Homo-oligomer: A and B are copies of this chain.
Amino acid sequence: MKELDPLLHSQLRLAIMSILMNVDEADFVYLKEKTESTAGNLSVQIDKLSSTGYITVEKGFVGKKTRTVCRITERGQDAFRNYVETLKQYLNL
């Protein structure tokens, strides 16, 4: 039984990645709403994903407000697809 990428095998990080697989880009506020997570938890998990290179994080401004935009990387997409394949083995899909 293959190992499940521990970085992806976490509810919140998986949710983040799942969203980013489908939307090209998503900002902090959007991810927070969609995942219904606390800001603190989201911040931590985004950091982990970005420091492993699964996503990129770009901090900018829209008007005077800060805006943190996340995008999935190639590596992230590969990892996600690989995780899905591995998981299928466990789920018998």
- The interface of chain A, by Cβ under 8 A from chain B, is 1, 3-4, 6, 9, 11, 14-15, 18, 21-22, 34-36, 84, 87, 89-93
Contacts and interface: CB of A to CB of B under 8 A. Distances in A.
A60 B6 CA distance: 35
B9 A3 contact: no
Nearest to A1: B15
Copies in the complex: 2
B3 A11 contact: yes
22 contacts: A1-B15, A1-B34, A1-B35, A1-B36, A3-B11, A4-B11, A6-B11, A9-B9, A9-B11, A14-B90, A15-B90, A18-B89, A18-B90, A18-B91, A18-B92, A21-B92, A22-B92, A84-B91, A84-B93, A87-B87, A87-B91, A93-B93
